[in-house]
Every structure is written in structure tokens, then in C-alpha cells.
Amino acid sequence: MNILKRLRFITNFLFSPIHQQTKSRMTNIILFGPPGSGKGTQAQLLVERFGLLHISTGDLFRYEIGNKTPLGIEAKSYIDRGALVPDSVTIGMLKNKMDASPEVKGIIFDGYPRTIPQAAALDNLLSERGSAVHAIIALEVEEEEIVKRLLDRGKTSGRTDDNNEEVIRHRIQVYHNETSPVFNYYDEKGKGFKVAGMGSIEDIASRLAGVMHSIDK
Ligand code: B4P
């Protein structure tokens, strides 16, 4: 990680208007990366280690799908073909989840935001709570490794979006076209960090913990 970027991040965090007004120590992190990059896997470990709330929009959609709610039925039609669920649906669901947990030390956002309008909505929701996104951490994984991981998971997960290579490659394309600009959106504010997402789950967790400690200083 580049020292200049780290300094820019710390300055930005300490002297942001929100931080000066509230001295809020809520720590909000976006875990970012393509499908299958290990966001869900690593978010679980970060939650155990740092005591933050984990919000995975993918998990929220799968819960709704499992209960056959109208939201779940609508989301399934997009997820099955590897498309993003529309922002209006996703943002409303995220707001409900955040409203249900007003008193938290911080949040790890996993799989959200996936578009610029989702990022803008998140900034507003956090600002209403006197807080902000403090960092976006991108897991970098090669495409062939992603396809392998997701096809492996598809053998046992029952997830319809994981057992078809064409759908998986479409999800990766959607990530490049619609989601990857979200990293730059926060990086321009000095909040972007990149972590190598190849290797053992434990090694990646250590790299992420290193970034988390530097953010928390
Ligand atoms: P998500 O549930 O967010 O799922 P994901 O991108 O597939 O997975 P993730 O990166 O979390 O991978 P994981 O740790 O599980 O999204 C599913 C769908 O929901 C989207 O395609 C979209 O349609 C919809 N959706 C969700 N959020 C949305 C939003 N905000 N807006 C619109 N639509 C939205 O890891 C994958 C596999 O790799 C696992 O089997 C794991 O065991 C394995 N693995 C992890 N780390 C590994 C490692 N280091 N080595 C080897 N294997 C590893």
C-alpha cells in the first residue's frame, strides 16, 4: 500500500466535516471485488475479528428468495441470469436493514454498492447517521480462478447463478461494466485500498486485517 495514499486517507478521515462534527468512531468498510473474489468469506472473518455488523445484499436477496417474498421473486429473475437487481429494489432493502440495526460499531458492506447510484445512496444513508464510508477494500483475483471457485461452489450450494459458466462469465462482465467504477468513486476521495485475493483464506485475512488496522489508527 502506497504511503502517500495512506496519508491522504488519514487526513481525509480526520478532517472530514462529518468526523469533525460527530467525532463518530463508527467504522464503515466496503469489501469490494468481482463475484467469487472472497468478499463473503472474508467478511465473516472480519466481523469476528473487529465486531462489526455484516451486511451482504446477496445474502439478503437469498433470504427473500428462500421465503418466496415478492421482493425475492423479483430479485431471482435477475440473479438467475447473472444481472444486477435494479437499484430501486436494492437500495430500499439496504435501508431497511440499516434501520433495523441503528446502534452498531460499524458495518462491513459485502456486495454493496455495485453501481454509482447505490454508492451515492449509501453515502446519504450514512450521512443521515452522522457517519460515512471510511474505506473501500478491493480483493484482486484472476478471472480463471473466479470461474473455478464459483463452479466448485455451484456443485454444492444449490445457487443457480454458480452452476453455469456462461452466467458466471456474464456476472464478471457486469462487474467490469457496472460495478468497477465504484472503486474509483471512493478512491478519488482517498479511500481506496487493494489487497491480493489469491492464496489461502488465512493469508488473505491477514492482509485485510493489516489494512483494517491502518484504517483504524
Ligand atoms: P453475492 O452474494 O454478493 O455473491 P458473490 O459476488 O458471488 O460472492 P463473493 O465475492 O462474496 O464470494 P465468496 O466469498 O462467497 O451476489 C450474488 C448476486 O446477487 C449478484 O450476481 C447479483 O445478481 C445480486 N446482487 C447482490 N448484491 C447486489 C447489489 N448490491 N445490486 C444488485 N444486485 C446485487 O467466495 C466464492 C467461493 O470461493 C466460495 O465457494 C468460497 O469458499 C471460495 N473461496 C473464497 N476465498 C477463497 C480462496 N482464498 N481460495 C479458494 N477458494 C476461495
The string of pLDDT tens digits covering residues 9-27 is: 444 444 443 333 344 578 9
Q: What's residue 7's pLDDT?
A: 55
Within 8 A by CB and 6+ apart from 130, the residues are 18, 21, 22, 24
Distance separating alpha carbons of residues 28 and 118, to the nearest angstrom: 15
Three-state DSSP class for residue 130: coil
Query: Would 140 be classed as within a structural domain?
Result: yes
Query: Would 185 be classed as within a structural domain?
Result: yes
Distance separating alpha carbons of residues 88 and 75, to the nearest angstrom: 11
Query: Would 55 be classed as within a structural domain?
Result: yes
Distance separating alpha carbons of residues 183 and 138, to the nearest angstrom: 8
pTM over cut 0.95: no
> Residues lining ligand 1, CB < 6 A?
35-41, 56-58, 61, 78-79, 82, 84-85, 90, 111-112, 114, 118, 149, 153, 161, 171, 201, 204
Per the structure, the complete domain to which residue 165 belongs is given by 3-14+26-216
pLDDT digits (tens, 9 = 90+) for 122-162: 999 999 999 999 999 999 999 999 999 999 999 999 888 99
Query: Would 102 be classed as within a structural domain?
Result: yes
Query: Would 21 be classed as within a structural domain?
Result: no
CA of 103 to the centre of ligand 1 (A): 27
pLDDT digits (tens, 9 = 90+) for 94-121: 999 999 988 899 999 999 999 999 999 9
Residue of 59, 85, 148, 171 best suited for mutating to test ligand 1, as the one with most atoms within 8 Å of CB = 85
Query: Would 191 be classed as within a structural domain?
Result: yes
Show the cell assigned to 51: 465486531
| Bridge partner list, 53 | 107
Closest CA to 24 of 113, 107, 137: 107
CB 125 within 8 A of CB 94: yes
CA of 201 to the centre of ligand 1 (A): 14
Q: What's residue 217's pLDDT?
A: 41
Q: What total of structural domains would you count in the chain?
A: 1
Distance separating alpha carbons of residues 90 and 118, to the nearest angstrom: 8
What CATH number is attached to the domain comprising 61?
Answer: 3.40.50.300
Distance separating alpha carbons of residues 148 and 187, to the nearest angstrom: 29
Query: Would 19 be classed as within a structural domain?
Result: no
Residue of 30, 46, 55, 57 best suited for mutating to test ligand 1, as the one with most atoms within 8 Å of CB = 57
- pLDDT band at residue 215 under the 50/70/90 scheme: confident
pLDDT digits (tens, 9 = 90+) for 48-75: 999 999 999 999 999 999 999 999 999 9
Sole residue written with cell 472474508: 42
